[in-house]
């Protein structure tokens, strides 16, 4: 993580316009076709939400704006990404777990299983401070049409929320919301990310 001068980046105008805005967050909604992800999850006995996290990391890694984030009124640049997931711990409460993103699916899955198990047992958050973290929250038991995240002014990280996927004949869909800080990216970047996410889902291959 390194502080950078906003004026020397493509985010200079956005930093001036949105850094002091009382509500700088923007939320997009999109319905994804996750038919392939569901089939791969069942066929290879992999967690659906892990595969979602992997595809999110893949899609984000190709967009440079994801490597910058406003933190404490400074613009920071990161060298790597992490994908956060919310874990139901053994107390019956929830804890937060940051999974370092790796382009290697086997490595990402191993970290996902190891770290979520650690958080579940310890009831302690696992935070990554040296990576730009993409937040996620899966309400897999519930059918929701969308969600707008709370802006606390503390965490400016991009965040995705989804509920239960819907099965209709040969197609499975999932509604997701994507919240992002306008200083970090514009609407076009966010839309491009969501399109890239659908492509990653559609083209995901698992060699086992």
Give the bridge partners for 37, in sequence order.
none
Asked if 135 and 124 touch (Cβ cutoff 8 Å), the reply is: no
Question: What six digits make up the tokens of 197?
Answer: 């996410």
Give me the sign of the Cα torsion angle 76, 151, 23, 159: positive
Which helix or strand (DSSP H or E) is residue 138 part of? strand 132-138
Note the pLDDT of residue 114: 98
Note the pLDDT of residue 26: 96
Domain ranges of the chain: 24-203
The whole-angstrom separation of Cα 182 and Cα 11 is 9
- Which tens digits make up the pLDDT trace of 128-177? 999 999 999 999 899 998 888 778 778 899 999 999 999 988 899 999 99
Spell out the CATH class of 24-203: alpha beta
The whole-angstrom separation of Cα 35 and Cα 52 is 12
Is residue 69 classed as helix, strand or coil in its secondary structure?
A: strand
With a cut of 70, list the residues of the chain below it in pLDDT.
Answer: none
Report yes or no on whether pTM surpasses 0.85: yes
Question: What six digits make up the tokens of 151?
Answer: 């802006």
The whole-angstrom separation of Cα 144 and Cα 124 is 28
């Amino acid at each position: 993580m390194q502080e950078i001068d906003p004026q020397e980046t493509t985010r200079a105008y956005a930093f001036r316009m949105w850094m002091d805005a009382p509500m700088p967050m923007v939320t997009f909604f999109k319905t994804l076709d996750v038919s392939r992800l569901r089939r791969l999850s069942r066929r290879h006995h992999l967690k659906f939400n892990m595969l979602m996290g992997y595809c999110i990391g893949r899609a984000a890694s190709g967009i440079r704006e994801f490597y910058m984030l406003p933190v404490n009124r400074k613009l920071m640049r990161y060298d790597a990404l992490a994908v956060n997931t919310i874990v139901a711990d053994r107390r019956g409460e929830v804890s937060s777990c940051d999974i370092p993103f790796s382009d290697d699916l086997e490595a990402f899955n191993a970290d996902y299983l190891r770290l979520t198990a650690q958080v579940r047992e310890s009831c302690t958050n696992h935070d990554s401070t040296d990576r730009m973290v993409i937040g996620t929250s899966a309400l897999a038991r519930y059918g929701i049409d969308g969600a707008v995240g709370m802006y606390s002014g503390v965490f400016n990280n991009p965040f995705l929320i989804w509920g239960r996927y819907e099965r209709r004949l040969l197609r499975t869909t999932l509604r997701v919301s994507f919240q992002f800080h306008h200083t970090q990216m514009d609407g076009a970047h966010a839309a491009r990310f969501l399109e890239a996410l659908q492509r990653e889902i559609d083209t995901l291959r698992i060699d086992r």
